[in-house]
């Protein structure tokens, strides 16, 4: 199965019933597949006039009660940033798939890149948390697509799935479970958004008194009337400039992600305990990094590997505990150093060596091995 197909299949298993998007290389297969498959399960597919309208439609469908997503690449992802901020402000669950390609601008439309890592975190204006997941294989694309929907619904937040062109277009053997719970290779729980048991006159869509920091979201059309705005709002959803309402809202929105960082941040670590050198990688680059680590160990280098599946929020204390004692940390990326900035901030700039490539080709194990062996 192709990576983009695994993403579409994962969305269907997660319960996605609405997709709005605009074709763009290298993500178009996701839209093509869902245009055929969504109507078969009672879902809706819309090709919009552009990416701005695509995410707007997704937000509207989510408010209407449907699990909703869109898929795009660099230029389209840029156009979506304003509505991504709206979804963050209004706390509307939705999934945005960004299949990264060479940029900026039209760039290298058919070539891989990891150049949108910082845009995923800081692309829209304002101070806000975000969740961004990054698979390194076709099966992982399936499972992390399901998790993207789960996190979105559980925490009432937009979630970004960062693929890159190689993962999106490569093919690997993969048995698609008819249901997430029936998977033989992994078990994925499907999470639905929390509803409320209070009567309509008692319901507040942004109530600050919930223990989880995530107020229940009742879909439009169920008899609950409330307001949604991109302005700062009170617990009923109406615009406010009161300081005693604004600051508690910000702190709650950050807290619902921050206090659950251990559940949100997924990773794999191999041999980091006694390693003098630790490689931190993600996406397709993690595959080359794993091979480079095997080559280095065969040459008796003490090397560990951390593969990040969650890029945002960045788990400072986790990276510090896993890589902080190493003499060197290697960060290979298909950019000139984006996630490396976060690693440098945590473990110290003097310990980090960047291994970068930006010519539209995948980093090779040989290049990463040279970074490990370099003095």
- % residues pLDDT > 70 (the chain): 96
φ and ψ at 56, to 5 degrees? -60, -45
Mean pLDDT of 151-167: 98
Among candidate residues 124, 156, 182, the one where a domain is terminated: 182
Which residues are 163's β-sheet partners? 99
Residue 103 has pLDDT above 50, yes or no: yes
Mean pLDDT (the chain) is 95
Residue 342 belongs to some domain of the structure: yes
Q: Are strands 310-312 and 131-133 parallel, antiparallel or unpaired?
A: antiparallel
The answer on 41 and 166 residing in a single domain is yes
The answer on 170 and 24 residing in a single domain is yes
Residue 21: the pLDDT is: 97
Number of domains in the chain: 2
CATH number at residue 153: 3.40.50.970
Report the SS3 class of residue 133. Answer: strand
The model scores a pTM over 0.85:
yes
**Is 251 within 8 Å of 299 (Cβ atoms)?**
no
The answer on 152 and 274 residing in a single domain is no
The answer on 276 and 140 residing in a single domain is no
Residue 179 has pLDDT above 70, yes or no: no
Structural domain harbouring 336: 268-373
Q: Are strands 108-112 and 94-102 parallel, antiparallel or unpaired?
A: antiparallel
Residue 41 belongs to some domain of the structure: yes
Nearest residue to 304 via CA among 333, 283, 325, 335: 325
φ and ψ at 342, to 5 degrees? -70, -40
The answer on 157 and 32 residing in a single domain is yes
Token match 């996190």: residue? 151
Residue 147 belongs to some domain of the structure: yes
The answer on 284 and 141 residing in a single domain is no
CATH number at residue 353: 3.40.50.920
**Is 95 within 8 Å of 157 (Cβ atoms)?**
no
Token match 């891989």: residue? 112
Among candidate residues 160, 182, 204, the one where a domain is terminated: 182
Residue 375: the pLDDT is: 61
Tell me which of 87-101, 197-211, 287-301 is least confident. 197-211
d(CA 274, CA 352): 18
Tell me which of 1-5, 37-41, 93-97, 181-185 is least confident. 181-185
- % residues pLDDT > 90 (the chain): 92
Mean pLDDT of 44-55: 98
Structure-block tokens of residue 231: 């302005």
Prior bond to 288 cis, omega within 30? Answer: no
pLDDT-derived band at 126 (thresholds 50, 70, 90) equals very high
User: How many CB atoms are closer than 10 A to CB 259?
Assistant: 11
Among candidate residues 155, 182, 209, the one where a domain is terminated: 182
The answer on 176 and 28 residing in a single domain is yes
- Read out DSSP for 152-197? HHHHTSEEEEEEEHHHHH-B------SSGGG-SS------------
Residue 178: the pLDDT is: 60
């Amino acid at each position: 199965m192709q990576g983009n197909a695994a993403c579409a299949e994962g969305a269907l298993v997660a319960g996605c019933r609405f997709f709005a998007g605009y074709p763009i290389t290298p993500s178009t297969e996701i839209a093509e597949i869902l245009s055929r498959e969504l109507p078969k399960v009672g879902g809706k597919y819309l090709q919009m006039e552009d990416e701005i309208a695509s995410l707007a439609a997704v937000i509207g469908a989510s408010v209407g009660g449907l699990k909703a997503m869109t898929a795009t690449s660099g230029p389209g992802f840029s156009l979506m940033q304003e509505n991504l901020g709206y979804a963050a402000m209004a706390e509307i669950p939705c999934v945005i798939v960004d299949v990264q390609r060479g940029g900026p601008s039209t760039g290298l439309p058919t070539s891989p890149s990891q150049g949108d890592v910082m845009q995923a975190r800081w692309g829209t204006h304002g101070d806000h948390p975000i969740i961004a997941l990054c698979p390194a294989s076709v099966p992982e694309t399936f499972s992390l697509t399901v998790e993207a929907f789960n996190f979105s619904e559980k925490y009432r937040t937009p979630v970004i799935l960062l693929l890159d062109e190689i993962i999106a277009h490569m093919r690997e053997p993969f048995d698609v479970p008819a249901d997430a719970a029936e998977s033989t290779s992994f078990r994925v729980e499907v999470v639905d958004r929390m509803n409320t048991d209070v009567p309509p006159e008692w319901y507040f869509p942004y109530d600050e008194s919930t223990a989880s920091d995530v107020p229940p979201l009742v879909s439009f059309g169920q008899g609950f009337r409330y307001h949604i705005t991109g302005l700062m709002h009170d617990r009923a959803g109406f615009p406010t400039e009161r300081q005693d309402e604004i600051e508690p809202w910000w702190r709650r929105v950050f807290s619902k992600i921050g206090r659950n960082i251990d559940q949100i941040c997924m990773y794999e670590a191999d041999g980091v305990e006694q390693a003098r050198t630790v490689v931190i990688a993600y996406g397709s680059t993690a595959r080359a990094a794993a091979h480079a680590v095997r080559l280095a160990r065969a040459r008796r280098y003490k090397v560990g590997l951390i593969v990040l599946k969650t890029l945002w929020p960045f788990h400072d204390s986790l990276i510090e505990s896993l890589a902080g004692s190493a003499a060197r940390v290697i960060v290979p990326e298909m950019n000139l150093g984006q996630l490396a900035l976060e690693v440098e901030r945590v473990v110290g700039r003097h310990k980090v060596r960047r291994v970068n490539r930006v010519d539209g080709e995948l980093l090779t194990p040989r290049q990463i091995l040279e970074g490990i062996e370099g003095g």
